Structure formats: C-alpha cells, structure tokens
Amino acid sequence: MNEQRNFRTFDYYVLLFFLLAFVGWLWEGALFLVTDHALINRGVYRGPYLPIYGAGGLLLTFVLRRLKRRPAAVFFLSMVLCSLLEYFTGYFLERRWGLRWWDYSGHFLNIHGRICLAGAVTFGLGGTFLVCLFLPLYEKWYDKIPKGWKLALVLLLLAVFVLDATYAAVKPNLGWGISRPADG
C-alpha cells in the first residue's frame, strides 16, 4: 500500500490541484470580504479557483512530501518555493497584460510589490499545513472515491478549466478590486 501511495495517478493530482485552487479562491475571497467588505473573484479566470494555489500546492506536494516529519524544513522551504512561484507569476501577468493582480508595495520587506514577508510566512504556514496534515487526510478521502467518479470529475473539471482558460487568455477577469495597471 505504501508503494502505491508513492506513485499516484494523474487523477490524484488533478483533483488535488482543483481542491487547492478552490481553497485558495475561498481564502482570498474571505480576506477581501474582511478587508474590503466585498465579494471579489480575485483570479484571472471566471471560475471558483485560483490556479496559482493549485500549482503551488502541487509543487509542494512533489518536492516536500518526503519531509512531512520535518515541519520546520517544510515551513522554510514552502516560504521560498511559494514566494518564487508568486513572484514569477506576478511578473508574467504584468508582462502579459500590463496589469497587477496583487501588489504588496505597502508591505514590510516586499520585492517589487510582487512578494512580501507576511505573504511568505503565510505560505510557510499553509505549506506546512498542506504537507504535514492535509495530504494524509486527502489520501484517505481520495482512496474512498469510486474510480468512475474520479474519472468523471476529472474530465468535467478539466473541460471547464480549459474553456475558462481559453476565454481568460482573450478576456481576463479585470473587475473592480482585481487588478490595477503595472508600474512598468
């Protein structure tokens, strides 16, 4: 059974990606509800997911899973890996559309407004929770889903995501509270 868990199938990672992307969407929605008193879909896409959270979660899963018994190492490596992902994603989005979907310019120890210390610490905590606590629970949950349901869910999620990504490539989500012009 442990050997099987060391090698997971494609659907395992697709479902994990979308679950983490949805949790990220909820997290950011809650933050803006508390700070701006408004419900805002913070992503480039229209759906209830933020792919950067899914991608970051998968990155941490692939790289740090074997360190789950070393939470301090997971914390610091999560800070670094997720901050690099956020920095370069922000850079790409700014270059692609000339807009910023987030800006930490007013935060302590920020780098070009793309990342900051508070965000890095939050990533460290989130990564530690993901790797050390959540992944073992997710594996138990995943193992209980019938194979046919996994396949149907994966196909549905990927189809919706491809359609949304195609639309967003032409017309990204730019509403109030989402983006602002990049400084160049």
DSSP character at residue 111: B
Residue 139 predicted with pLDDT over 50: yes
Record the tokens describing residue 184, joined without a space: 């160049």
* Percent of the residues in the chain that have a pLDDT greater than 70, as a whole number: 91
Residue 45 sits at the vertex; the CA angle it makes with 9 and 100, to the nearest 5 degrees, is 115
- 62-71, 112-121, 163-172: which has the minimum mean pLDDT? 163-172
Q: Tokens standing for 168?
A: 């967003």
Q: What tens digit of pLDDT does each residue of 106-127 get?
A: 999 999 999 999 999 999 999 9
Taking 70 as the threshold, does the pLDDT of residue 176 lie above it? Answer: no
What is the residue extent of each domain of the chain? Answer: 10-178
pTM of the model: 0.87
DSSP 8-state assignment for residue 131: I
User: For residue 69, is pLDDT > 60?
Assistant: yes
- Per DSSP (E only), the strands in the chain are 99-100, 180-181
With bands split at pLDDT 50, 70 and 90, how would you rate the model's confidence at 179? Answer: low
- Residue 2's pLDDT is what? 46
